[in-house]
Chain A
Amino acid sequence: MRKSKKSDKTKNVDQAKQTERLNKIDQIIDQYENKYKDSHKVLIELLQEILEEFDYVPEEALVRVSEKCQVPLSRLYSLATFYNSLRLEPVGKHHVCVCVGTTCHVNGATEIVENLERKLKVEPGHTTEDGNFTLETVNCLGVCARGPLVEIDGKYFSNMSPIKLNKILEKYENGKSN
């Protein structure tokens, strides 16, 4: 809990933002219910839609889905933690994702991940203290012929090495938004 007292004005802004979020969540759920009205529901698609909107799956979204779609919260939580890409924490400003598929691995992906862990001082799956980078690994992005591959904010960088990546990361460092 934050200890500092917030002014009424900030509180109002926060509240407005929260309402907007909840509205967005409801909107996604309604669209989903509508889409699968006449057929079996595909729950994983709903979670993907939420992920796409917020870049993570917020707790309040799971609660809302549970209430509106009559799915036990425990099952939603179980699904959200089972799948690698359904993260429960928000991502930082820049999303750095290292492919650790077999080809990238034999070509040095481990060294790239270890170098990033040292440099950013976070483990894969976490965000740096300043909120600038989220480091993740992925099992394979299917660009094996050009590995090691690193994806930053959706852009692919091929034939990477620790030194090459260090240079690229400079452009994304705090204050040098890209």
Chain B
Amino acid sequence: MKTENQIEIIDLEELKNEILSKRSLDQPTVIIAGGTCGFASGALEVIDAFRDELKKQNLDGEVVMKVTGCHGFCAIEPALIINPGNIFYSGVSAEDVGEIISETIINKKVIERLLYTDPDTGEKILHEEDIPFYKKQTRRLLANNTRIDPLNIEDYIAIDGYFALEKALSMGPDKILEVIKASGIRGRGGAGFPTNIKWEMTKKAQGDEKYIVCNADEGDPGAFMDRSILEGSPHSVIEGMTIGGFTIGARVGYIYIRKEYPLAIEHLRKALEQAHEYGFLGENILGTDFSFDIEIVRGAGAFICGEETNLLKSIEGAIVEARTKPPFPAIKGLWDSPTVLNNVKTLVSIPLIINNGAEWYSGIGTNTSKGTIIFALVGKVKNSGLIEVPMGMTLREIIYDIGGGIARGKKFKAVQTGGPSGGCLPESLLDMPVDYESLTKAGTIMGSGGMIVMDENTCMVEVARYFLTFTQDESCGKCTPCREGTKHMLDILTGITKGEGHEEDIAVLESMGSLIIDVSLCGLGKTAPKPALSTIKYFRDEYIEHIRNKKCPAKVCKALIKFSISEDKCTGCHLCFRNCPTQAVVGEAKKVHSITQEKCIKCGICHESCRFDAVRIE
């Protein structure tokens, strides 16, 4: 169909060349890692300092400053790269900026102090990609986070952005589905349902209107890769979604995104505007008769809305209550129309598959799980941040080779995956290759990719109690097993952490847990007992220690621990005395202090404030 718009239609290749011709590789460039985590660690101050300093030195036309998304190694931010030279500096503060400009940008000298130091070898590392944290990674979905300014669509086009959309529009829906199927991609939201089947079902389903919905309600506490992608490469999400909309025959798409991610929402809004301006969204996209638009819906802080049927109810403005499936959203979804729901990571994979081919995608991974997987490697691990690895890498490689092992010389205890719907795995399973099947078999799930490492100071009973508190609070209350069952499990777990547990509690938790899994209506109830069941399975001794001996081996459960001051180590510095909120610490300056147990509320402030390691927890 010819339209008037067609005259204005841009030739992507030409546009890309035009953008590249304006840029010179020799031009000094500062690439600063932005994103919420970067900003939380002081990147905003560094950015301001660069802006001021470049202006002051009349260099603002000469030096390009680019703020990208999060580079992933959150623990060492603020971080930046100087080009030419690809020099990587970490732990940068605003005070360093003047020196970086005069020494590195003007005099081309490396400032040793700002280079990353390998904690194991003491070696200074010049390039970001040579840091052990990045070396074993295969960064595909996260690649753009270091390459582009997310607020500049030209940056995205310069790296072949929207080329996949153009290609997909010429391929047609059936050919797209073939490629997606051949790639073997499975939904990155956690359940791992084959993406091509979901799309095909929706495409074939009867309905005048069809919808594609992006689930960006990353509610799993401990996972933040969707936030990072939305902040760092919002156009990838838009492109993937538009290809999906074209394939299934939708005219409208919704991105359901957590309100708790203000920066991601802001970037997405700007990206949508730009995509409209360039004709990648709206009427007659790229001169075809395909018209498509995307709207943002902000979630309002309800974990259960991450489950697909609940998410759709939330968009509809209905009371969110779980329902049984079938009918599946592919048949009866948003406003009763056929609807595809995809996770952010699934959607950003689509343009990569279309551009690079199915074989490129399936070339890495395991037999049943293809491609790469992103984890939020956090908790008590040395190098924490976002990592992307081929499916099938072992937990040990992830935690020790990439994560650098356990922080502060502590001992590994468990790794938790899948958030409140997942479980904790012990040391004996560290050599397990990570894919959908192996994790499920071990009693946890892939989930949205949170990987929380726990050390000897993490109490497994308390962790189970924490997750049950969470799911119990987030349960919508419609079905009895979830509403009442999680409450009972939580009560029992709370009792155990308080030293009020009974021998039979473990058996009750196990039988109640499996019942809740069997008979709950939606994903929340069907997975809520997993943290408790997996910790009982692998850390039963810790439960028994709490119940029988009223002891918390990790020294976490307040009712079972006692704070005291070591006479040998106390210097009488008086700091704990001053900080104690209940005047439980007694003692004169320069003399050994002690703690009045009756007044102690076990807040741990004395322990935190002591510089001589004199406060003991028993």
Q: Which residues of A contact B (CB under 8 A)?
A: 39-45, 47-48, 51, 71, 75, 78-79, 82-86, 100-108, 111, 114-115, 118-119, 138-147, 149, 154, 156-158, 161-163
Cross-chain pairs A/B with CB under 8 angstroms, 15 sampled: A41-B317, A78-B319, A82-B320, A103-B378, A104-B221, A106-B454, A111-B603, A140-B260, A143-B37, A144-B378, A145-B37, A146-B37, A146-B74, A158-B37, A158-B40
Q: Which positions 271-310 of chain B face chain A at CB distance < 8 Å? A: 295, 297-303
Query: A169: shortest Cβ distance to chain B, in Å?
Result: 13
Contact of A141 with B317 in the complex, beta carbons under 8 Å: no
A45 touches which one: B298, B419, B467, B604 (CB < 8 A)? B298
Query: B603: shortest Cβ distance to chain A, in Å?
Result: 6
Query: B614: shortest Cβ distance to chain A, in Å?
Result: 16
Contact of B316 with A142 in the complex, beta carbons under 8 Å: no
**Given A83-B300, A83-B301, A115-B603: A156 and B40 interface contact (C-beta under 8 Å):** yes
B259 closest partner in A (C-beta):
A85
Q: A-B pairs with CB below 8 Å: how many?
A: 160
Contact of A111 with B302 in the complex, beta carbons under 8 Å: no
**Given A84-B302, A103-B378: A146 and B458 interface contact (C-beta under 8 Å):** no
Contact of B300 with A139 in the complex, beta carbons under 8 Å: no
Which chain A residues lie closer than 8 Å to B376 at the CB level? Answer: 144-145
**Given A44-B317, A103-B452: A143 and B40 interface contact (C-beta under 8 Å):** yes
Query: B56: shortest Cβ distance to chain A, in Å?
Result: 26
Interface string of B313-330 (1 = CB under 8 A from A): 011110110000000000
Which chain A residues lie closer than 8 Å to B416 at the CB level? Answer: 102
Q: Which residues of B contact A (CB under 8 A)?
A: 36-37, 39-41, 74-75, 77, 218-224, 227-228, 252, 254, 259-262, 295, 297-303, 314-317, 319-320, 334-335, 376, 378-380, 384-386, 416, 419, 450, 452, 454, 458, 463, 466-467, 470, 579, 581, 603-605, 608-609
Which chain B residues lie closer than 8 Å to A154 at the CB level? Answer: 262
Complex-state Cα separation, A46 to B72, whole angstroms: 34
Contact of A162 with B603 in the complex, beta carbons under 8 Å: yes
Query: B600: shortest Cβ distance to chain A, in Å?
Result: 13
A139 touches which one: B221, B295, B380, B452 (CB < 8 A)? B221
User: What DSSP secondary structure best describes chain B's contact surface?
Assistant: mixed
Query: B466: shortest Cβ distance to chain A, in Å?
Result: 6
Query: A144: shortest Cβ distance to chain B, in Å?
Result: 4
**Given A40-B335, A106-B452: A82 and B302 interface contact (C-beta under 8 Å):** yes
A156 touches which one: B36, B75, B259, B467 (CB < 8 A)? B36
Which chain B residues lie closer than 8 Å to A51 at the CB level? Answer: 300
Which chain B residues lie closer than 8 Å to A104 at the CB level? Answer: 221
Contact of B380 with A106 in the complex, beta carbons under 8 Å: yes
Which chain B residues lie closer than 8 Å to A106 at the CB level? Answer: 379-380, 452, 454, 458, 463
Contact of B218 with A142 in the complex, beta carbons under 8 Å: yes
Contact of B314 with A44 in the complex, beta carbons under 8 Å: yes
B579 closest partner in A (C-beta):
A163
Complex-state Cα separation, A84 to B217, whole angstroms: 14
Contact of B261 with A142 in the complex, beta carbons under 8 Å: yes
Complex-state Cα separation, A103 to B415, whole angstroms: 12
Which chain B residues lie closer than 8 Å to A139 at the CB level? Answer: 219, 221, 260, 301, 303, 470
Which chain B residues lie closer than 8 Å to A118 at the CB level? Answer: 581, 603
Query: B98: shortest Cβ distance to chain A, in Å?
Result: 25
Which chain A residues lie closer than 8 Å to B262 at the CB level? Answer: 154
Query: B497: shortest Cβ distance to chain A, in Å?
Result: 12
Query: A140: shortest Cβ distance to chain B, in Å?
Result: 4
**Given A142-B218, A158-B40: A163 and B608 interface contact (C-beta under 8 Å):** yes
A145 closest partner in B (C-beta):
B74
B459 closest partner in A (C-beta):
A106
Which chain A residues lie closer than 8 Å to B40 at the CB level? Answer: 143, 146, 149, 156-158
Complex-state Cα separation, A18 to B386, whole angstroms: 48
